[in-house]
Structure 1
Amino acid sequence: MLHEINWPHEYLPGTTDNFASNEVIIQGVTAAEAFDNLIDTAIWPTYYKNVADVEFDNTKGTKLAENTRFRFKTFGFPIEAEITEFEAPKGDQPGRLAWHGWAEGDAETRLDVI
């Protein structure tokens, strides 16, 4: 497995209006523990203060899973989202988690992110 982001062609860095990538290196936490924190939306506000009102369309509970459709607010903006990659870490292999998120608007104002 590659340890790089699988960018869909239309989102390749350098080809979009904006690009940002965040990385945090933490000690004393396994990849499985980090993954469990990322998929449990109930604890997102403990480490990301700009998230609110997480709701699921096709999954019960608070944990993301493969093909989950969900919505949340960030900075007060409503975002619709769908999981596009979901693979838990196994052994020495990293996990993969990605989603496509969007906010409605016209072609000039629509937010569309991976």
Structure 2
Amino acid sequence: MRGLTAARIRRFLSDTATWESYYDNVADISFPLGGGPVLEDGLAFRFGTFGRGRPGPAAWTARQDGAPEEGLDVPHVWLVEDLSGGRVRILTRETQIGRPAAALARQTPNPVPNGHQAWLDGLVRAAEAA
């Protein structure tokens, strides 16, 4: 993206109070041990997405304990960096391990990459509007 900086993007990614303003697949953000709404190393937080509440920073691991048909392990990483020419690169990568993730992967259209693209698009729109 041209005309944006990594710092501007990170502001919207790290402040969970802004998430619902630009991404409609997130809800019920909470900090069970206190802190927030700005993410920092070691801060525990939860949020709902795809109809599920998950603990979850620009990198987090979400876990949903339970029987094999319910358990999930979901590492999610964001890379936001300034490039030459006044550009910024925003990459996100997520790996989902567990039966619920396998079921999502078989859906057409697949809600996970579509949801991540919506998050990226909303993040850019919010940063551009700020």
TM-score if structure 1 supplies the norm length? 0.59
Structure 1 residue 113 corresponds to structure 2 residue 88: no
Task: Extract unaligned runs of 5+ from structure 1.
Answer: 1-25, 84-96
- Partner of 2:11, secondary structure, is helix
* Contact persistence 2:35–2:43 (CA under 8 A): no
* Contact persistence 1:54–1:71 (CA under 8 A): yes
Among candidates 102, 108, 111, match of residue 63 of structure 2: 102
- Counterpart AA for 2:12: N
Q: Which has the higher contact order (CA 8 A, sep 6+)?
A: 2
Distance 2:66 2:53 in 1: 11
User: Could you list the runs of 4 or more consecutive aligned residues of structure 1 that deviate by over 3 angstroms after TM superposition?
Assistant: none
Structure 1 residue 49 corresponds to structure 2 residue 14: no
* Contact persistence 1:52–1:73 (CA under 8 A): yes
Task: Extract unaligned runs of 5+ from structure 2.
Answer: 76-130
Corresponding residue for 1:62? Answer: 37
Relative to 1, partners in 2 of residues 1:59 and 1:35: Cα closer, same or farther, differing over 3 Å?
farther
Structure 1 residue 36 corresponds to structure 2 residue 11: yes
RMSD, aligned α-carbons: 1.6
The alpha-carbon deviation at position 59 of structure 1 amounts to 4.2
Corresponding residue for 1:27? Answer: 2
- Counterpart AA for 1:71: R
- Partner of 1:67, secondary structure, is coil
- Partner of 2:17, secondary structure, is helix
